[in-house]
């Protein structure tokens, strides 16, 4: 797991930019499934089972991050990424032929495994090319690649809808975007191998006792919980907002996400260096306070004119949170555990994406949106308490 090369000094290297592009292309192949629920309806999959077909994808990736992350290192990352691309391309083509419930369950698991291989390998390399003093800025720019994919992917697919006969055609065609990623990965591997030969060292896997000791570190555990809370908040709001808007008779649903995503991107582009100059723990606590205020404002929405304003509140809070949380994990991790912990953070992302909509949907079904917003506020404030505990722990080190 130890990265054998000296710590990098330059942030905007070929490897860094290339890995951001690979991440962007990888996420584009996730967002292309934005219409999967409707496609499952056209196949006759019962409503009560469509969520499982959709959710088995992040669940598979989540379990693989938990089990396989200790085996991921900078040596095997490039070939793991190439394997992931091969799986994603194969699974994209399989949607033409698989239409049964159990067949789709197996295909979505296969698809999730491919996404894990590509994303986990990219993260293992990513943490090896980040200068330690620029971790906050690095994760801010990395997240812009993700946001750009989520913001632009569905819009591009909609604009090309006239040329896409069926959803499986779109799923298969999207995998073509991964071909440039193959070239980038091969170039990174070639450049890295040249430097490995010069260093004449090899990476090694940590013992399981070391992995256990790493996870028992309170800052590591707290940051995993904070990252999970962040994405549980984000994913539940992402999937439930449209239903809330329909209930409230709101027409400008898109304005909320446009303002939110736009402000998040602007913050991470323009305030990148700030994430490394201010107290990251304070930023994490402040971000969750703002997120709690956003849920409170949504629960007492004054009217349609308030939608962009609430979107700005969420954009501000969530724009600050992700780079600070991941930058902190990079800082508190021992050098030989940075790859492992970065991939465990991705496990927390998948866990948040899984539990957020599940718990949020159950709350809406049983207690309405008011109950959902109250619990979301409580979750955000609990994260504030965790950040205070993290600050106390951080000050002792």
pTM of the entire structure? 0.76
pLDDT at residue 86 tops 60 = yes
Angle between the N-to-C axes of helices 218-248 and 253-270, in degrees from 0 to 180, rounded to the nearest 10? 150
With contact defined as beta carbons under 8 Å apart, do 37 and 231 qualify?
no
Question: What's the confidence (pLDDT) of residue 2?
Answer: 44
Average pLDDT over every residue of 318-324: 83
DSSP conformation letters of 25-67: HHHHHHHGGGGHHHHHHHTT--HHHHHHHHHHHHHHHHHHHHH
pLDDT of residue 252: 62
Which residue in 228, 335, 350, 230 sits closest to 283, CA to CA?
230
Higher pLDDT, 209 or 176: 176
Report which listed range, 76-80, 106-110, 148-152, 247-251, is most confident: 106-110
Degrees to nearest 5, angle at CA 338 with 333 and 339:
155
Residue range 349-364: mean pLDDT, rounded: 83
Rounded distance between C-alpha atoms, residue 361 and residue 274, angstroms: 36
The residue-averaged pLDDT of 230-247 equals 81
pLDDT tops 60 at residue 42: yes
Percent of the chain with pLDDT over 70: 88
Residue 261's Cβ-side half-sphere holds a number of Cα atoms within 13 Å equal to: 16
Per DSSP, the residues of 180-225 read HHHHHHHHHHHHHHHHHHHHT----PPPHHHHHHHHTSHHHHHHHH
- CATH class of segment(s) 1-205: mainly alpha
> What would the pLDDT profile of 128-148 be if each residue is shown by its tens digit?
887 777 777 777 788 888 878
**Burial tier of 262 (Cβ tally within 10 Å: 0-12, 13-18, 19+):** middle
Q: What pLDDT band is residue 59 in, cutting at 50, 70 and 90?
A: confident
Task: Using the predicted structure, report yes or no on whether residue 1 has a pLDDT greater than 80.
Answer: no
What phi and psi values does residue 216 have, to the nearest 5 degrees?
A: -80, -10
CA dihedral angle for residue 28, residue 321, residue 185, residue 56, rounded to 10 degrees: -50
**Residue 298 neighbours by CB under 8 Å, 6+ apart:** 244, 310, 373
Give the pLDDT of residue 228.
92
**How do residues 13-38 score in pLDDT, each as one tens digit?**
888 889 999 999 988 888 788 778 77
In the chain, which segments carry CATH 1.20.1250.20? 1-205, 208-397
Instruction: Provide the mean pLDDT of the chain.
Output: 82
Which fold does the domain 208-397 belong to in CATH?
A: Growth Hormone; Chain: A; (1.20.1250)
User: How many CA atoms are closer than 13 Å to the CA of 309, on its beta-carbon side?
Assistant: 11
Mean pLDDT of the region 116-134:
84
């Amino acid at each position: 797991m130890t990265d054998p090369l000296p710590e990098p000094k330059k942030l905007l290297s070929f490897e860094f930019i290339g890995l951001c592009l690979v991440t962007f292309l990888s996420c584009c192949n996730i967002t292309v499934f934005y219409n999967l629920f409707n496609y499952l309806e056209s196949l006759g999959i019962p409503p009560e089972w469509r969520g499982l077909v959709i959710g088995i994808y992040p669940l598979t990736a989540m379990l693989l991050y938990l089990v396989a992350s200790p085996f991921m290192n900078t040596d095997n990352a490039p070939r793991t990424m190439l394997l992931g691309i091969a799986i994603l391309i194969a699974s994209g083509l399989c949607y033409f032929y698989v239409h049964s419930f159990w067949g789709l369950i197996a295909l979505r698991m296969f698809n999730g495994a491919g996404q894990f291989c590509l994303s986990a390998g990219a993260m293992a390399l990513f943490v090896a090319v980040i200068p330690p003093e620029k971790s906050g800025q690095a994760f801010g720019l990395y997240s812009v690649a993700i946001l750009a994919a989520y913001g632009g992917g569905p819009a591009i697919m909609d604009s090309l809808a006239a040329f896409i006969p069926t959803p499986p055609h779109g799923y298969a065609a999207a995998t073509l975007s991964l071909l440039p990623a193959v070239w980038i990965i091969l170039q990174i591997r070639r450049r890295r191998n040249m430097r490995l030969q010069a260093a004449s060292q090899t990476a090694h896997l940590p013992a399981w006792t070391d992995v256990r000791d790493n996870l028992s570190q309170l800052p590591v555990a707290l940051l995993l919980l904070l990252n999970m809370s962040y994405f549980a908040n984000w994913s539940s709001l992402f999937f439930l907002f449209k239903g809330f808007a329909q209930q409230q008779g709101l027409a400008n649903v898109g304005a909320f996400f446009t303002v939110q995503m736009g402000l998040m991107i602007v913050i991470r582009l323009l305030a990148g260096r700030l994430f490394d100059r201010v107290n990251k723990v304070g930023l994490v606590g402040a971000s969750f306070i703002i997120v709690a205020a956003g849920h409170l404002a949504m629960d007492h929405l004054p009217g349609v004119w308030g939608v962009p304003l609430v979107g700005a509140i969420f954009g501000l809070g969530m724009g600050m949170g992700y780079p600070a949380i991941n930058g902190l994990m990079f800082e508190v991790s021992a050098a030989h555990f940075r790859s492992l912990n970065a991939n465990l953070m991705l496990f927390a992302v998948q866990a948040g994406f899984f539990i957020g909509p599940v718990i949020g949907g159950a709350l809406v079904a049983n207690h309405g949106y008011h109950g959902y917003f109250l619990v979301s506020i409580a979750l955000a404030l609990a994260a504030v308490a965790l950040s205070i505990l993290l600050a106390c722990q951080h000050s002792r080190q």
